[in-house]
A and B are shown apart, each in its own frame.
Chain A
């Protein structure tokens, strides 16, 4: 059996790649994908702990995280369509209307 810490380290690596994606990429859709990646990395840690403690709670949290991720993707993509309709771009550097 694989030690739980291996799963946690994999989760940390995936989360960091997601953070790097949000920081480095300027395409809003790819930034949203990176957020999904971060959510999934956290899910992996939850399931690893759920297995370690033989408890269903971690899996229930994963269920809720999936629901929130679905809602977030739907609303985020709708915002993106609205932005694209008005500004013809999804580049975060060009959407500076609310920048102070």
Chain B
């Protein structure tokens, strides 16, 4: 990957990441996040990790972001008032973030990997077969545990998002508006 291409992608990802934090409308935040994640996927491919890069684009942009978008639409969050919060908290957050970035810069400029990585990786680097061999030999147990994790997540998500049974009234002050609204669900 030539340097100018990296700089372009890095600038794009940082600008869109700032968009995630600074946009008011959650849908705009989500669109900025999609741009960031796709840029990171392209960076993966540029690094030679082709399989992981395509997985990134398919899994994140294709699945997770659509889930976010559905939830934003379901909850009708565009109508939400602009984010509130105390100014002191924001100031403190910005100072903490600046301190963190300074610290990470100090670490990463000391890292011995400043030399360019080997120009010619192994021929099968980043291929499906290389990933699969590692996944099903060294990481087999972790891979199997992942399936249990996903099963637990699916069951938990369904159990949490399921409508409460009719006998348990939702704990909310204005019950009338709530009842009127729940007709539409």
Measuring CB to CB, which residues of chain A are less than 8 angstroms from any residue of chain B?
1-10, 12-21, 23-27, 29-30, 32-34, 36-37, 40, 43-44, 47-52, 54, 56-57, 59-60, 62-64, 66-75, 77-82, 84-88, 90-91, 93
Contacts and interface: CB of A to CB of B under 8 A. Distances in A.
Interface in B123-171: 125-126, 130-131, 133-135, 138-139, 142, 146, 149-150, 152-154, 156-161, 163-164, 170-171
Contacts of B52: 47, 59, 62-63
A78 B139 CA distance: 30
Contact of A67 (B90, B101, B121, B146): B146
Interface of B: 1, 3, 6, 10, 13-14, 17-18, 20-21, 26, 29-30, 33, 36-37, 40, 43-44, 47-49, 51-52, 55-56, 59-60, 63-64, 67-68, 71-72, 74-75, 77, 80, 83-85, 89-90, 92-94, 96-97, 100-101, 104-105, 107-109, 111, 113-119, 121-122, 125-126, 130-131, 133-135, 138-139, 142, 146, 149-150, 152-154, 156-161, 163-164, 170-172, 178
30 contacts: A1-B117, A5-B109, A7-B47, A8-B113, A17-B20, A19-B100, A21-B20, A23-B94, A26-B84, A27-B77, A29-B77, A30-B21, A34-B21, A37-B20, A40-B60, A50-B49, A51-B125, A56-B131, A59-B134, A60-B131, A66-B59, A70-B59, A71-B153, A78-B158, A80-B75, A81-B74, A81-B160, A85-B164, A85-B170, A93-B84
B6 A59 contact: no
A52 B149 CA distance: 30
A14 B84 CA distance: 24
A48 B47 contact: yes
B139 to A, nearest CB: 5
B156 A1 contact: no
Given A44-B43, A54-B122, A70-B150, A5 B1 contact: no
A16 B160 contact: no
Nearest to A79: B160
A60 B134 contact: yes
A25 to B, nearest CB: 6
